[in-house]
Amino acid sequence: MSFPTDLEIAEKADIQHIKKIAEKLNIPEDDLEYYGKYKAKLPLKYIDEQKIAQSNLVLVSAINPTPAGEGKTTVTVGLTDGLNKIGKKAIAVLREPSLGPVFGIKGGAAGGGYAQVIPMVDINLHFTGDFNAIEKANNLLSALIDNNLQNKKNNLNIDPRTIVWKRVMDMNDRALRNVVIGLGGTANGIPREESFNITPASEVMAILCMSNDFKDLKEKLGNIFIGYTFDKQAIYCRDLKAEGAMAILLRDAIKPNLVQTLEGNPAILHGGPFANIAQGTNTIIATKTGMSLGDYVVTEAGFGADLGAEKFLHIKCHYAGFKPKVLVLVTTIRAMRYHGGAKKGEYENPQFEAVKKGIENLQKHIENAKNWNLKPIVAINHFATDSEEEIQFLKDECEKLGVKAIVADEFTMGGEGMKELAAEVVNAAENYGNNFTPLYDVEDSVENKIETIAKNIYGADGVEYAAKAKADLKSIYNLGLDKLPICMAKTQKSLSDDEKKIGRPSGFTVTVREFEFAAGAGFIIPILGNMMRMPGLPSIPASENMDIDDDGNITGLS
């Protein structure tokens, strides 16, 4: 019998009414805003700074992944179940998945195997409507911008060629990457170039994830930079008086969503910003709510630790005041083979020599963790094809660096396969100080902040700036945005900005091609490569095999 699909496991789960999960967190039913029986929104009132100070924040990040991904989400979910199994009140706090990729290749994104959050189908479809609300808030601003261009009254004199604000749609739709809008004569708008991004790439998403409350949300929305007038004056969202209506559209989306793991432990899913051009982690509100309700919060940040953890620590922790106690570095033997030079078709099976070389990628991430004064634990996300020899070697090498490497068997065993890792997380949280130290001061110059990341985290010799980047940098200083944290946009496949440089590259510089900035969300985005903001569909989209029967049962959602 073959291993069941994620959907089969999820549909067979003995799912509990969400009020039962809330009971475990001492939340009375009256405080829940149900979305059916298995999802609920929580009010913001549970955020309690005193409890947050006592809670243990566990950040799950990873080595640089192979194209298949190394299972950060499954480890995050499984570790939560493992912590609960050993008697800790732990909550998984995660991003919500985007709808677009569901119909492409990728399928769902709520963990996998026996480490999933459920109800899986709901989470992968419209969930509680947050992405839709974000999309509408984003596109209302777009409609107001184009309406302002069109109208004689109330006109802000915006130069359409300078507008950087884009429409979004939560769909893999490449034909919307480059469009011309406003055609068809005087009644139908001012013609101009436009792009549609996928909804997770919206700055509204980044802002929602960075906001503490409605007031903060509105202020950040108001600060969105739109473009310039013909007189070169900067135009912000607040100039269009759009932030109030946008915040109204986000009235429910700002509230975190409570669901459960397959083992009936609480999980909060909230927000889902891109991990390249944005911060790639769930909302500050969700993390704070989790920390207010649980002794342990297990959370993840998109991509490897050079991107995900770095942004989590320098952006999210900066704004929210978080200090993670433990950093779990997810690795796979497969990825070690990959970084050791094994190709696709080879790295799926034992390659001891490749592992011996490829481990340098993990070693660098361990060093990086120590740079932040964080105590890392390595989770070896287990595959049936891992050899004993490879695993033992990896454990021994970590031991030499004073770091524990523990096999994580969440995919096939759920929390039961995570008890050893959970125990080590508790040990680390209880016995080591809360020593996280950021690597840079936000008050430093943009160039210094970038150099700090490039040299200390990537291992680069230095940073170069293309002409466009130099010009953009000037705009950033002119607009007074230079004291913001940095949100690096580079490939996740390498520690460098060149995806072909596997392992632990050295003797390289990184190149900032251009800059963007999220004046509302509050960060500067150096662009170090081509960033995909609107995925496409494959030749045979996953949607072709999806079906729903007369009773509403779904098949083909992987």
Query: 5: closest CA among 98, 104, 76, 108?
Result: 108
Please say which residue, 396 or 547, places its beta carbon nearer to a copy of itself: 547
Residue 514, marked binder: no
Sequence letter at residue 66? T
For the bound state, the minimum distance from the C-beta of residue 548 to a copy of itself, rounded and expressed in Å, comes to: 5
Residue 5, marked binder: no
At residue 164's C-alpha, the angle toward residues 162 and 169, to 5°, is 140
Please say which residue, 388 or 551, places its beta carbon nearer to a copy of itself: 551
Please say which residue, 53 or 548, places its beta carbon nearer to a copy of itself: 548
For the bound state, the minimum distance from the C-beta of residue 182 to a copy of itself, rounded and expressed in Å, comes to: 4
For the bound state, the minimum distance from the C-beta of residue 220 to a copy of itself, rounded and expressed in Å, comes to: 14
Please say which residue, 136 or 325, places its beta carbon nearer to a copy of itself: 136
Please say which residue, 108 or 324, places its beta carbon nearer to a copy of itself: 108
For the bound state, the minimum distance from the C-beta of residue 528 to a copy of itself, rounded and expressed in Å, comes to: 20
What is the C-alpha to C-alpha distance for residues 3 and 9, in angstroms, rounded to an integer? 9
Residue 68, marked binder: yes
What is the C-alpha to C-alpha distance for residues 233 and 229, in angstroms, rounded to an integer? 5
For the bound state, the minimum distance from the C-beta of residue 197 to a copy of itself, rounded and expressed in Å, comes to: 13
For the bound state, the minimum distance from the C-beta of residue 25 to a copy of itself, rounded and expressed in Å, comes to: 19
For the bound state, the minimum distance from the C-beta of residue 103 to a copy of itself, rounded and expressed in Å, comes to: 6
Please say which residue, 231 or 544, places its beta carbon nearer to a copy of itself: 544
CA distances (Å), origin 333, targets 340, 343, 368, 387, 413 = 10, 14, 20, 9, 18
For the bound state, the minimum distance from the C-beta of residue 147 to a copy of itself, rounded and expressed in Å, comes to: 4
User: Alpha-carbon torsion 391, 396, 401, 406, what sign?
Assistant: positive
H or E stretch covering 356: helix 352-371
- Is residue 72 a contact partner of residue 78, using CB atoms and an 8 Å limit? no
Please say which residue, 221 or 374, places its beta carbon nearer to a copy of itself: 221
Residue 70, marked binder: yes
Long-range contacts of 432-439 (CB under 8 A, 24+ apart): 432/325, 432/375, 434/323, 434/325, 435/373, 435/374, 436/313, 436/317, 436/323, 436/324, 436/372, 436/373, 436/374, 437/372, 437/373, 438/313, 438/314, 438/317, 438/318, 438/372, 439/314, 439/371, 439/372
Question: Quick one: tokens of 28?
Answer: 């009375």
What is the C-alpha to C-alpha distance for residues 383 and 362, in angstroms, rounded to an integer? 18
At residue 411's C-alpha, the angle toward residues 362 and 535, to 5°, is 70
Question: Quick one: tokens of 392?
Answer: 């033992």
What is the C-alpha to C-alpha distance for residues 366 and 398, in angstroms, rounded to an integer? 9
Query: 264: closest CA among 57, 127, 114?
Result: 114
For the bound state, the minimum distance from the C-beta of residue 131 to a copy of itself, rounded and expressed in Å, comes to: 9
For the bound state, the minimum distance from the C-beta of residue 104 to a copy of itself, rounded and expressed in Å, comes to: 9
Residue 69, marked binder: yes
Please say which residue, 70 or 194, places its beta carbon nearer to a copy of itself: 194
Sequence letter at residue 82? G
Residue 73, marked binder: yes
Sequence letter at residue 162? T
Residue 72, marked binder: yes
CA distances (Å), origin 555, targets 348, 365, 558 = 28, 40, 8
Burial 366-384 (b: 16+ CB within 10 A, else e): bebbeebebbbbbbbbbee
Max Cα-Cα span within the chain = 74
- Binding-site residues, in ranges, read 66-73
- Binding-site residues for ATP, in ranges, read 66-73
